[in-house]
A = this chain, B = another copy of it.
Amino acid sequence: MPEIHVYLAQGRSLEQKRKIASEITDAIVRNLDVAPEVVVVQFIESSRDSKARGGILFSDRDKAAKANSRP
């Protein structure tokens, strides 16, 4: 307690997750006055075929962006 879930599309690096886990834990410890060892951070990543914004899968948004960037 507390537990933090970070919902992401896949593709972030180990180093990015390492830093986010550390900084979120620091924010929780500093503000809630709890021991670091009770803070759990879990990244719940889905493939870009399994996450959407605006009703369009990220994998489809990627394709549309690529098509639009062609000269």
Name A residues whose Cβ lies closer than 8 Å to a Cβ of B.
1-9, 12, 14, 16-32, 36-37, 39-46, 49-60
Output the residue of A17, A49, A60 with the most chain B CB within 10 A: A17
Which residue of chain B has its CB nearest to the CB of A27?
B23
* Contact with A46, one of B31, B43, B49, B53 (Cβ below 8 angstroms): B43
Q: A22-B55, A24-B24 are in contact. Are A46 and B44 (CB under 8 A)?
A: yes
What's the Cα separation between A40 and B53 when bound, in Å?
A: 5
What's the Cα separation between A51 and B29 when bound, in Å?
A: 17
A23 cross-chain contacts in B, Cβ below 8 A: 23, 27, 30-31
* Contact with A18, one of B29, B30, B60 (Cβ below 8 angstroms): B60
